[in-house]
Amino acid sequence: MVILGLNYYFHDSTACIVVDGQLVAAIEEERLNRDKHTKKFPEKAIDRCLKMANLTIKDIDHIAVSIKPTHNLGKKLRYAISNPKSLRHFISHEFVHAYRKQKSFWRWFNDAYTSKKDGPQVHFIPHHFAHAPGSFFVSPYKEAALLGIDGSGEWATAMLGFGKDNEIQTFGESFFPNSLGSFYEAVTSFCGFITNYDEGKTMGLAPMGDPNVFKKEVEKIVRIDKNGGIHIDLSYFRYQNLNYGKHSHLSPKFIQIFGEPRSPGEPIKKHHMDVAAAFQSVLEDRVLEICEILYQKTKTDYLVISGGVSLNSVMNGRIVRESKFKDIYVMPAAGDNGTAIGAAYYLYNGMSKKPRNFVHLNPYVGTSYTNEEIEKTLKACKLHYLYHEDICEEAASLLENGKIIGWFQGIMEIGPRALGSRSILANPAFPDMKDKINSEVKFREAYRPFAPSAIVEAKDQFFDLDVEAPFMLKVCNVLKDQQRIIPAVTHVDGSARLQTVRKELHPRYYDVIKKLGDKTGVPVVLNTSFNIQGEPVVESPKDAIRCFFSTGLDALVIGNFIIKKKTAINNSEDLQEEPSVEFSQH
C-alpha cells in the first residue's frame, strides 16, 4: 500500500511516501525550490520522494492531502456574514485562494494520470486530524493525550483528544478567531517581525524582557474554559478581519496599552522586549492550563502535541517540567510541513485501521549524496579540497581550535531544526562564538541564541532535563556550574534548546561531538542550521558550497572532504587575490 502524503494549502509545502506503513521519504519543497516556507505545490518534492523510494507515479495507491476545504464551511460562512468587515478578505482567502490551491493539485493530478478513475484514490483529511492524530499514529506511545494547536486550519485553532491504538477520541475544538497562534502572531507583528514566519525570533527575544511589566494586562486577553476551549478578547486585535497587512493584527487599544509597534529595521526597545516576554509567559501558562484539563480527562502518562504553536520549544520545556505528563512527543516537523506525514498516517492507521508499525523517531528522511556525487560537484566548481578517512577527527580538531564549520553529512533531516546533517557547527566553549556566528555567518539579530547538541550520555552533566530531546524542541536550563563552560549556547536566562544525540541514529554526528569531547572534556557542539537568514537550509552540495563562500565559515566538511578558506594575508598583494582554499592530492 503506497501513500503519497501532501501539504500544500497554506505554507511549508511538503511531500512524503509511506509504503506499507513505513515512512520511506519526506522532503519540504523549500529545500528544492529555495523559497523559504514556500506555498507552491510540491512537485519537486513529489518527484524526489518517488525517486528515493524507487517508485513511479503509477505506483501510488492513495493520496492523502492535509486539508479538507469544505470542513467547517458552515462555521466559516456564519462568521463572514456576522462580520461584514472581514467579508472581502474572507472571500479572497476561503474561495479564491482555495480555488487556486485545488486547481494546482488537480492540474498536477491530471498531468500525471489520464483520469480520476485511472489514478489513485484521493483523500482530503481535515487539517487538525493531520496534526494531532496523525502525529499520535507515529509516536512511540500506545496511548496518549492529544493537543493540536496553531493559527487556524479550516477554522479550527485547537483540538483536544485522546488516542489509543488505532482509535481517536475528540474532546473539543476551538475556532477562529479564538486562536493562541494568532495571539502570538500579534506580538510577533508588534516586535517588527514577519507573522507566521518569525515567531521563533519572538520566542528568542522574550528572555531579554521582564514579563511582569505587562503580564497582568496580557492575562486579560486569553481565557481557557473548563473544557479547554480558548477565548480571546478581540478588542486588542484586528486579525479577526482577515486583513494581514503591516501591523494589521493590532487594534488601537493594543497600541495604546503596550506602546508603539516596531517597524522592521528599527531598534528593538525595552517595551518591545517586555511585551514579548509577557505574551510568551501567558502563552505558556494558558497551554499548561489546557494540559491540566487534558490530563484530568485522560489520566494518561504522555502527551502528543502538534501544530505551529508546538514549535515553541520554551513552552514545551515547561510542559515537560510542570505538567503531570511524564513526557511529550513533538514530531520533528510539527508545523504544517509535518501534516503531509500526519495525513498519510491518519489514512493508513486511522481510516484504513492498519496496525501501527512505525515510530517516527528518525528525522533523517530526506535526500543524501555519496562521496562520488560530492566530489563530482567539487570538481565541477573547480575547487581544491582535502580527503580524510577519519573526517570526524579532522572536524573535531577544527572545532577544538575555534573554527566555524559547515557540516554536510548523510541523510537530510526534516523540519525547521538542523539536527546534524545540514548544520553549522562551532565550539560552544568560546564566549564570543555566538556573536561571531550571528554577525559573520548567519547575518541575523545579535540577541538570537544558538542551540547545543550533546551526546545523550552527557545530557545530565550539562543540562537539567529528565527526558531526551532528539528533535531540539524542548528548552531546558543549563546547569549553573556549566553555564560558564558552554557560554555560546547558554541564553541570557540560563536556558538552552537542547538536542540529545544517539550514536545509532546519526553515527557520524555523534562521533564528531564525542571526539570534540575527548579533546576538550566537553562533548557538546553549537549547532545551527546550514543557511543564512531568509534562505532555506541547504539541500545539495552546490547549495552548501554557495553558502560556504558567501559567509564567514572557516571550513566546509562535506562527506569525507574538507575545504578551508585561507585566512592569513601576508602582504598587500594578497588583498587583490580571489578567496582561495587549501589543496592536497588525495
Burial label for 435, CB within 10 Å (0-12, 13-18, 19+), is exposed
**Alpha helix (H) ranges present in 66-198?**
73-82, 87-91, 98-112, 127-137, 180-190
Q: Is there a single domain that holds both residue 524 and residue 395?
A: yes
CB 363 within 8 A of CB 469: no
Q: Note whether residue 432 is domain-resident.
A: yes
Cα 37–Cα 194–Cα 538 angle in degrees, nearest 5: 35
Q: Note whether residue 86 is domain-resident.
A: yes
pLDDT of 245 reads 60
pLDDT of 318 reads 97
Give the cell for residue 176: 477562529
Give the cell for residue 517: 569531547
Q: Is there a single domain that holds both residue 117 and residue 143?
A: no
Size (the chain), residues? 586
pLDDT digits (tens, 9 = 90+) for 310-352: 999 999 999 999 999 999 999 999 999 999 999 999 999 999 9
The CATH number linked to 568 is: 3.90.870.20
pLDDT of 580 reads 37
pLDDT of 87 reads 81
Q: Note whether residue 581 is domain-resident.
A: no
Q: Note whether residue 584 is domain-resident.
A: no
* Cα distance between residue 130 and residue 345, in whole Å: 8
Beta strand 2-7 with 62-65: parallel, antiparallel or unpaired?
parallel
Q: Is there a single domain that holds both residue 13 and residue 106?
A: yes
Q: Is there a single domain that holds both residue 99 and residue 171?
A: no
Q: Which of 330, 358, 392 is the last residue of a domain?
A: 330
Residues 6+ apart with CB under 8 A from 18: 2, 3, 5, 24, 341, 344, 345, 348, 358
**Alpha helix (H) ranges present in 401-506?**
433-437, 459-462
Q: Is there a single domain that holds both residue 200 and residue 53?
A: no
258 — phi, psi (to 5°)?
A: -100, -10
pLDDT of 118 reads 85
Q: Is there a single domain that holds both residue 391 and residue 512?
A: yes
Closest C-alpha to 138, from 341, 276, 395: 341
Q: Could you give the C-alpha distances from 158 to 149, 170, 423, 574, in angstroms and in order?
A: 4, 11, 32, 60
Q: Note whether residue 134 is domain-resident.
A: no
Burial label for 390, CB within 10 Å (0-12, 13-18, 19+), is exposed
The CATH number linked to 89 is: 3.30.420.40
* Cα distance between residue 470 and residue 332, in whole Å: 9
pLDDT digits (tens, 9 = 90+) for 90-108: 888 777 888 888 999 999 9
Q: Which amino acid is at 117?
A: K
CB 350 within 8 A of CB 129: yes
Q: Note whether residue 351 is domain-resident.
A: no
Q: Which of 281, 299, 330 is the last residue of a domain?
A: 330
Q: Is there a single domain that holds both residue 116 and residue 163?
A: no
pLDDT digits (tens, 9 = 90+) for 225-258: 999 999 999 999 999 887 656 667 899 999 999 9
Reported as type and span, the H/E element at residue 341 is helix 339-345
Q: Note whether residue 346 is domain-resident.
A: no
Q: Note whether residue 105 is domain-resident.
A: yes
Give the cell for residue 2: 503506497
Percent of the chain with pLDDT over 90: 84
Closest C-alpha to 62, from 351, 405, 428, 491: 351
Q: Which of 128, 148, 179 is the last residue of a domain?
A: 128
Q: Is there a single domain that holds both residue 242 and residue 316?
A: yes
Q: Which domain holds residue 275?
A: 139-330
Q: How confident is the model at residue 574 (pLDDT cuts 50, 70, 90)?
A: very low
Q: Indicate the number of domains in the chain.
A: 3
pLDDT mean across residues, the chain: 93
Mean pLDDT is lowest, of 298-302, 446-450, 566-570, for: 566-570
Closest C-alpha to 473, from 311, 354, 322: 311
Q: Is there a single domain that holds both residue 46 and residue 124?
A: yes
Q: Is there a single domain that holds both residue 438 and residue 545?
A: yes
Q: Is the pLDDT of residue 569 over 80?
A: no
Q: Is there a single domain that holds both residue 404 and residue 502?
A: yes
Q: Is there a single domain that holds both residue 208 and residue 123?
A: no
Q: Is the pLDDT of residue 455 over 60?
A: yes
* Cα distance between residue 295 and residue 290, in whole Å: 9
143 — phi, psi (to 5°)?
A: -145, 150
